[in-house]
Structure 1
C-alpha cells in the first residue's frame, strides 16, 4: 500500500533482481494505491523529475509505504 502525502506527484518503480527499474505508475498528491508484491521486493519512489525520494522493502504482512510531505 503506497500513500503519497507530498504536494506533487511521484513515480513508483519496482527494482528487479538484476537492479533494473520497472515503472509501475504514478501517484497524484494525496493518492493511495494497493500494490501486489512479494516479501523482500524493493520499490523506489521518485519525484516527477526522477529524483530519488526513498526505497521501500516489502514485508511478509500487509504494510504501508508513506511518502512524506517534504
Structure 2
C-alpha cells in the first residue's frame, strides 16, 4: 500500500471500523506535531492503541508508526 493511499484512507473518514490516528498535544511554538498510527500489517486497518488482534481480518501483527 502506498503512503498516499494510506494517508487518504486515514483522513477520509469513510471506514467505520478504522480508528483515527492519535495526535500528541502541542506544547508550544516550534514543537513538531507527532501523529501515531496503530495499523494491522495484514490488511492495513487502523486500530486503537491496545488492540492485539485486527477486527477486520483477525490478524495479530499490529504495528505502530509515529509520523512527524
TM value normalised by structure 1: 0.26
Q: Per chain length, whose mean CA-contact separation is higher, i.e. which structure has more relative contact order (CA < 8 Å, sep 6+)?
A: 1
TM value normalised by structure 2: 0.26
Q: Which has the higher strand share?
A: 1
Q: Which has the higher helix share?
A: 2
Larger radius of gyration: 2
